[in-house]
Amino acid sequence: MNRRAIWAGVLMVSLALGLSSFKGDDRNFQISKNLDVFNSIFKELDLFYVDTINVEKMIQNGINGMLSLTDPYTEYYPEEEVSSLKELITGKYGGIGAAIRYYESKDRIAIVEPIEGMPAAEAGVKAGDIILAIGGKEMVRGDQKPQDFSSRVSDALRGEPGTSFVLKVQRPLKNDSTVLEFKITRKNIRTNPVPYYGIVRDSVGYLSLTGFTDNCAKDVKKAFIELKQRGATSMIIDLRDNGGGSLQEAVDIVNFFVPKGTEIVTTKGKIRQAMGSFKTQYEPIDTEIPLAVLVNGNSASASEILSGSLQDLDRAVVVGARTYGKGLVQTTRPLPYNGTLKVTTSKYYIPSGRCIQAIDYAKKNADGSVARTPDSLTNVFHTAAGREVRDGGGIRPDVEVKGEKFPNILFYLMNEDLIFDYATQYCLTHEAPASVDSFALTDSDYADFKALVKSRNFTYDRQSEKMLKTLKEVAEFEGYMEGASEEFKALEQKLNHNLDRDLDHFAKPICKELEQEVIARYFYQRGAVMQLLKDDEVLDKAIEVLEDKQQYKEILSVPVVASADAAK
C-alpha cells in the first residue's frame, strides 16, 4: 500500500470520527437549546399571560404531549400515583379488597366486586352498594371529574393494614333502598392471579391466569401440582384477557415445562443495560405432559412470552385468536420529587428469534396514528422442530377459533349499567344457588330483565341505521337516489329500530353476560370463570386437541409436504 493510500485512509477515519463527534455535540446542543426555549416560554407565560396559569396542569399537559410521541406504555407517574404503579406490578395494596367505579345514575361510587375472603366481603359489603361515607366523611363528587372522584374514594378506602373505619353505604332494594354501616379493618390485599383451577373434562386440568404479578409463578406451580395429584394427564393454561406483567414470572412459568438452561427471551435496546438473556434456572416439573394455551386479542406482553415461547419450543398447542402483539419491555426510572417514569427500554425476542410487536410506534402517520404491521411485511421464523411461525402481529394460534361477536346492543346495556343493576336486584331477591353448575337464568328471569330495560327507556345507536344514512347521502350526492328510492324505503322498514326484536335476537350473548355477572355476586371471580367455561368454544377445541393424541402430535410436527420440500 503506498503512502498516498495510507494518508487517504487516515483522513477518512479522522473525518468519520470528527463527524460522529459533531453529530453528538449537535444533538446535545439541540437538547439544551429546546429545554431552554421550553423553560423560557413557560416563565414568560407565567409572568405576562393575562390570567393566572395552573402551573401543575400546564406542565403535566406538556409532559403528556412529549410522551405521546413515544408509545402508550411509556408513562409518567407523579408522587401521588406511584402507589397505583406499584400495585400494578406487585398486585398488592393496603385496603378493603373491593373494586369500585363511578355510578353515573346515582352520581356516586359503587362497589363493583368485593374480593373473596377480603375485609369488604367478610364484613358483608356487596356488589351494587353505593358508597355514602368513609370514616364519617361524606363521599360526594362536587365539581370533580368522575375519574378524579373515583381516585379520591379509592384513596380513602386504602390505608395502613390494621387501621379501621366505618363504611356507610346505600343498598338498593326492589322498590326502595336502605342505609347500612360496616366497620372494616384494612389489611394487605393481594389479588389472586389464579382465580380458578380444576379438572374440566375427565383428566384434563385447567387453570386461569389473569395477570403476571409478583410471585404468580408460585400460584401456578401450586395449582399445577395439585391438578396432577387429582389425576390431570394434560393441562390447559388460559391466558385470555391477560394483559401481561412481569417478564421474569413468565419465564419462571415456562420453566415448569422445559429443561433448565433453555433460553426463553432475549431483550435488545439502545443501551447495554437493556440487553439481556433470560434462561430457565430450575429443574422443570413436567416436560412431557401435553399442554394447550388459550389466547385472544387481549392476551399481551408476558402472556405472549409464555404462549409464544411454548409455541417456539413445540411444547404446547396455542388455541384461540391472534394475540395483541406487544413485544416491548418497560422499566421504571426514579424522578425528582418521588415521581417515576415507566419507559420502554427494549424489545423482546422469543426462542425462534422473532419479535411479535404488531405496531412500530417510531413510524407514525402525519395525524399521529399508527397501524399494525400488515401480514405481507412479516418474516418467517422456525420453531425448534422446524414449523413456520411469523414475527409482527402477535402470536398466531396453532388452532384458530373465532370467538363470538360482541353485539352492539350488549355494549350499550353494559355501559348504561343495566346488566349490573339487574344482577344487583336478582341477588337481593334470590337465594344463592347450591353450585355454579346448577345455576342458569330462566325464561322468566330474562323476561324480568327485558322489563327492566324497557322501564329505563333504553335506546342505543344501531350501526345498520348509521350505515344506511351514510349510503343514502352518498347515493344522493352521486345522483342514484331517484332510481333507488323505493329500495331504500323497503330497507329502512326492514332495519327499523325494534327493541323487542333485538333483545330476543341477541338473547344468548346477553343472557350469558347476565349469568356471569350474577354468579360473580355469589361465587366471586372464581365463579365467573367457572360460568364462562360452561359454554366455551375455545376451551372445547383445546380439550378436543388434548384428547386426540395423534392430532396433538401432528400440530406440533412439521407437515410432511414441508419436510419433503426441505429435503430437495
Active site residues: 301, 312, 326
Task: Select from 567, 160, 98, 89 the least CA-distant residue to 331.
Answer: 89
Q: What is the DSSP string of 506-566?
A: THHHHHHHHHHHHHHHHHHHHHHHHHHHTT-HHHHHHHHHHH-HHHHHHHTS--HHHHHHH
* Three-state SS at 378: coil
Measured between alpha carbons, how far is 517 from 513 in angstroms, rounded to an integer? 6
Count of alpha carbons within 13 angstroms of residue 358, beta-carbon side = 17
Count of alpha carbons within 13 angstroms of residue 297, beta-carbon side = 5
Widest Cα–Cα separation across the chain: 102
Residue 401 pairs with which residues in a beta bridge? none
The secondary element (H helix, E strand) that includes residue 353 is: none
215 class by beta-carbon count within 10 Å (0-12 exposed, 13-18 middle, 19+ buried): middle
In this structure, are residues 216 and 245 in contact, taking their beta carbons and an 8 Å threshold? yes
The secondary element (H helix, E strand) that includes residue 450 is: helix 443-455
Measured between alpha carbons, how far is 474 from 489 in angstroms, rounded to an integer? 16
Q: Is 519 left (phi over 0), alpha (psi -120 to 50) or beta?
A: alpha
User: Quick one: DSSP state of residue 359?
Assistant: B
User: Quick one: DSSP state of residue 182?
Assistant: E
Measured between alpha carbons, how far is 541 from 46 in angstroms, rounded to an integer? 63
* Three-state SS at 481: helix
Measured between alpha carbons, how far is 476 from 179 in angstroms, rounded to an integer? 59
* Three-state SS at 178: strand
